[in-house]
Amino acid sequence: MFDYIKGQFISSSINSMVIEVGGIGYLLNASNQTIINCENKDSVKVFTYMYVREDEMSLYGFYSVNEREMFLDLISVGGIGPKLAIQILSSIRLEDLALSIATGDASYFTKIKGVGKKTAERIILELKGKVNTIDFAGGSTVSGSSQSNGDAIEALMTLGFSKADAVRAISKTDADLTLEEKITAALRMLGR
């Protein structure tokens, strides 16, 4: 129904904010990241999603199209409603969320109130092939497509790093580096 709202940020509370457009204050359910991105700005553009059920009609706001797409992906998972999806988006950076799904790392999800191990596994199972990690990671590949990247990721995991941290670090290394150079560069990024 609405693609976006452009107006003045008025106020916020936990997981919601008010944007005024033409003298009307719209109450938007939103993640902490969206609220932080909108605060202290004269004019904001917030992408929206209207959730309609027989007993509820709510408007959700997002600072980017990617955040809205992730929200829509999350609510497509059985057992994940819009409020839990906003809670997930408030708890994990969008890039980390996409990377966790792509790498099958459920540890980020289980730290969120309302998300247990089974729900985390369901999110990963249902969204693993659906979420395009390149869109969420600012254009860098996160899949470790070459054999060298895969070996470097495995080496970092052997050293005790999570798969998500290893993939993130290796994706930021230069493609022309040798295996040893990639591991060394990734260790520097990871603080070792």
- Give the model confidence (pLDDT) of 165-175 as tens digits: 887 788 788 77
Average pLDDT, the chain: 85
Supply the pTM of this predicted model.
Answer: 0.71
Task: Give the dihedral sign, CA 170/172/176/182.
Answer: negative
Task: Give the dihedral sign, CA 122/80/106/185.
Answer: positive
Examine the pLDDT at 3 and tell me if it is beyond 80.
yes
Residue found by looking up tokens 């990721």 in the block? 153
Collect all residues with Cβ–Cβ distance below 8 Å to 118 and sequence separation of at least 6.
none
